[in-house]
């Protein structure tokens, strides 16, 4: 895939496509001479004129022309009001074209919120907190459970939702495009991770306790329909390129048969064969039921009897340091995952859009993102602790002030 290159204060997505006449040769580019757009809103510019290559440039902070994209479609999103002069050069063996566009960026009429605006999808995998966080009630549908998830984590609400076992996910959006500011963290996602008060193994240096890492995916609203049906990109954390990490890994869960007879393992694990799963690499196992959660672990509002998820799977991070099954430590990965470190430990719960990679692991330069998805990244059972399941409680755009936190320089 072609790489996008942006100057330090730029970003991009669509509001309008209008025909106009260009300088000789006279061609219909499908791009206007002037656009107006609010800051932190994506403007999509797509030339209809075919060419061999496309180069978008814009003056940088010193006034020098700088390449901001070499893709045919430009997604533009500016963090600050002002006039931005963009030049498109289309190379063609017969009729090369150069077109100049003025993009006037305005301050928004109503101040943007720093916090999640809405949850768009909530589709957890089976787990011990499913149907509890948030609470399922008879008659609930996918729409009503998504609304409950939104009520839990939108705005300044701070109520945990669980994503269940490996693959379970939530998709949310802000009321604006989250701008990618080079060299800065762009957003933060809160979980409920904590460090152990006393690890039975004093020789380890890696922090750990309850780390249930979730992977972050991001997308631009390329088609402008407000739905997360666009290409997704993973934010590559510390484990992404390691050989122990599985990519394009698929898991399928099967709902428990009503006639299933529990298989108790010990007083805390009341059914070791509760919800079966299989994976694309030929492995199989079960989500176990424990004595601490008696409700159904299958998401009761989902009518299907199987659930399939595909993504990146991190290696297990849980270790029974007691060697007796009573003290598991879930070790933290260095960086780049949700619910992996305590929220107040530096920037370890913050994310940089510049970490984005495509499906082949190639870095991708995104000007900003309209959708964010988090899914549970580890497939493991830790005895009486149950399955590892990512939980989140809220998220913040770090480029929008909350009234008390000073913002970094743009």
Distance CA 171, CA 344 (A): 23
Distance CA 396, CA 117 (A): 10
Question: Under a CB-based contact definition with an 8 Å cutoff, are residues 213 and 331 in contact?
Answer: no
Element (H, E) at 284: strand 284-290
- pLDDT surpassing 70 at residue 405: no
- pLDDT surpassing 50 at residue 12: no
Condensed to tens digits (0 to 9), the pLDDT of residues 246-261 reads 999 999 999 999 999 9
Structure confidence at residue 410 as a pLDDT band (50, 70, 90): low
- pLDDT surpassing 70 at residue 28: no
Q: What is the pLDDT of residue 403?
A: 72
- pLDDT surpassing 80 at residue 13: no
Q: What is the pLDDT of residue 93?
A: 87
- pLDDT surpassing 80 at residue 139: yes
Q: What is the mean pLDDT of residues 124-137?
A: 98
Angle at 360 between CA 358 and CA 365, to 5 degrees: 30
Residue whose pair of structure tokens reads 């957890």 in the numeric block: 124
Distance CA 334, CA 374 (A): 18
Condensed to tens digits (0 to 9), the pLDDT of residues 60-74 reads 989 999 999 999 999
Torsion angle (degrees, nearest 10) of CA 233, 238, 239, 242: 100
Condensed to tens digits (0 to 9), the pLDDT of residues 366-394 reads 999 999 999 999 999 999 999 999 999 99
Q: What is the pLDDT of residue 6?
A: 37
Instruction: Report DSSP state, residue 189.
Output: E
Q: What is the pLDDT of residue 16?
A: 30
Q: In the 3-class helix/strand/coil scheme, how is 222-266 assigned residue by residue?
A: CCCCCCCCCCCEEECCCCCCCCCCEEEEEEEEECCCCCCCCCCCC
| Closest by Cα among 62, 68, 57 to 101 | 57
The model's pTM:
0.91
Structure confidence at residue 20 as a pLDDT band (50, 70, 90): very low
**Spatial CB neighbours of 40, under 8 Å, sequence gap ≥ 6:** 11, 77, 78, 79, 108, 112, 176, 177, 178, 179, 368, 399
Condensed to tens digits (0 to 9), the pLDDT of residues 192-240 reads 999 999 999 999 999 999 999 999 999 999 999 999 999 999 999 999 9
Q: What is the pLDDT of residue 404?
A: 58
% residues pLDDT > 70 (the chain) = 91
Q: What is the pLDDT of residue 68?
A: 94
Question: Under a CB-based contact definition with an 8 Å cutoff, are residues 103 and 84 in contact?
Answer: yes
Structure confidence at residue 7 as a pLDDT band (50, 70, 90): very low
Q: What is the pLDDT of residue 17?
A: 27
Q: What is the pLDDT of residue 61?
A: 85
246-254 vs 269-279, strand pairing mode: antiparallel
Distance CA 397, CA 144 (A): 26
Q: What is the mean pLDDT of residues 315-328?
A: 96
Average pLDDT, the chain: 92
Structure confidence at residue 337 as a pLDDT band (50, 70, 90): very high
- pLDDT surpassing 90 at residue 23: no
Structure confidence at residue 15 as a pLDDT band (50, 70, 90): very low
Distance CA 31, CA 90 (A): 13
% residues pLDDT > 90 (the chain) = 88
Structure confidence at residue 402 as a pLDDT band (50, 70, 90): confident
Q: What is the pLDDT of residue 94?
A: 87
Q: What is the pLDDT of residue 195?
A: 97
Q: In the 3-class helix/strand/coil scheme, how is 151-188 assigned residue by residue?
A: HHHCCCCCCCEECCCCCCEEEEECCCCEECCCCCCCEE
* pLDDT: which is higher, 104 or 406: 104
């Amino acid at each position: 895939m072609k790489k996008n290159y942006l100057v330090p204060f730029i970003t991009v997505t669509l509001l309008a496509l209008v025909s106009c006449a260009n300088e000789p040769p006279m061609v219909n580019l499908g791009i206007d001479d002037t656009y107006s757009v609010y800051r932190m809103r994506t403007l999509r510019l797509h030339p209809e004129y075919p060419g061999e290559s496309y180069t978008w440039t814009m003056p940088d902070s010193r006034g020098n022309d700088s390449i901001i994209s070499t893709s045919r479609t430009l997604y533009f999103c500016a963090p600050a009001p002002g006039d931005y002069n963009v030049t498109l050069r289309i190379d063609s063996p017969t009729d090369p074209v150069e077109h100049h566009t003025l993009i006037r960026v305005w301050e928004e009429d109503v101040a943007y919120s720093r916090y999640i605006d809405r949850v768009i999808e909530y589709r957890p995998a089976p787990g011990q907190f499913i149907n509890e966080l948030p609470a399922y009630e008879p008659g609930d549908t996918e729409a009503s459970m998504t609304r409950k998830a939104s009520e839990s984590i939108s705005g300044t609400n701070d109520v945990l939702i669980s994503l269940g076992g490996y693959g379970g996910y939530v998709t949310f959006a802000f009321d604006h495009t989250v701008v990618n500011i080079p060299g800065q963290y762009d957003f933060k996602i809160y979980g409920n991770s904590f460090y152990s008060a006393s690890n039975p193994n004093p020789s380890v240096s890696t922090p750990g306790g309850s780390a249930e890492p979730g992977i972050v995916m991001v997308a631009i609203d390329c088609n402008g329909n407000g739905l997360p049906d666009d290409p997704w990109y993973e934010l590559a954390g510390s484990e992404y390129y390691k050989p122990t990490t599985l990519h394009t890994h698929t898991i399928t869960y099967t709902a428990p048969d009503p006639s299933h007879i529990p298989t108790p393992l010990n007083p805390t694990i009341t059914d070791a064969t509760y919800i079966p799963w299989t994976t694309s690499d030929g492995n199989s196992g079960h989500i176990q039921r424990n004595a601490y959660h008696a409700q159904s672990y299958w998401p009761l509002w989902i009518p299907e009897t199987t659930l399939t998820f595909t993504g990146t799977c991190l290696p297990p991070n849980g270790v029974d340091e007691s060697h007796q099954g009573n003290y598991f430590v879930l070790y933290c990965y260095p960086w780049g995952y949700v619910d992996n470190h305590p929220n107040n430990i530096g920037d370890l719960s913050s994310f940089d859009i510049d970490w984005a990679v495509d499906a082949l692991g190639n870095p991708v330069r995104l000007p900003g993102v309209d959708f964010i998805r988090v899914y549970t990244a580890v497939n493991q059972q830790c005895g009486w602790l149950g399955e590892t399941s990512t939980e989140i409680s809220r998220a913040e755009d770090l480029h929008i002030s909350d009234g008390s936190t000073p913002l970094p320089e743009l």
